[in-house]
């Protein structure tokens, strides 16, 4: 079987390059809503993180998500993202 080359994306939390499908896309919709996009197809500006709470927390703490998505994250939004990550994985 021929292996297709996986596109690599960088996790905004730990900075590691990983195959796109191992990462979760965080997307900012055109309306400015930030959510987790597990399909990778949602419209808007996206950033990638590992499927791990540690990476999400780190990315929030270092403002990497905010920088990548050019958005401010409220405490409420951070909470929602963390909840979605732990519920859906």
Q: Which residues bind Zn ion (CB under 5 A)?
A: 11, 13-14, 50, 55
CB of 30: closest distance to Zn ion in angstroms? 26
CB of 58: closest distance to Zn ion in angstroms? 8
- Comparison of 51 and 71: residue with beta carbon closer to Zn ion: 51
CB of 82: closest distance to Zn ion in angstroms? 15
- Comparison of 12 and 73: residue with beta carbon closer to Zn ion: 12
Q: What is the DSSP string of the chain?
A: -PPPPPPEEEBTTT--EEEGGGEEEEEE-TTS-EEEESSS--SSEEEEEESSHHHHHHHHHTTHHHHHHT----HHHHHHHHHHHHHH-
- Comparison of 43 and 61: residue with beta carbon closer to Zn ion: 61
């Amino acid at each position: 079987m021929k292996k297709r080359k996986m596109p690599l994306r960088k996790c905004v939390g730990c900075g590691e390059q990983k195959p796109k499908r191992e990462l979760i896309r965080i997307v900012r919709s055109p309306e400015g809503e930030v959510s987790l996009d597990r399909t990778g197809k949602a419209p808007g500006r996206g950033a990638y993180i590992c499927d791990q709470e540690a990476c999400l927390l780190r990315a929030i703490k270092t403002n990497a998500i905010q920088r990548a998505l050019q958005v401010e994250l409220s405490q409420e939004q951070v909470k929602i993202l963390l909840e979605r990550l732990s519920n859906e994985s």
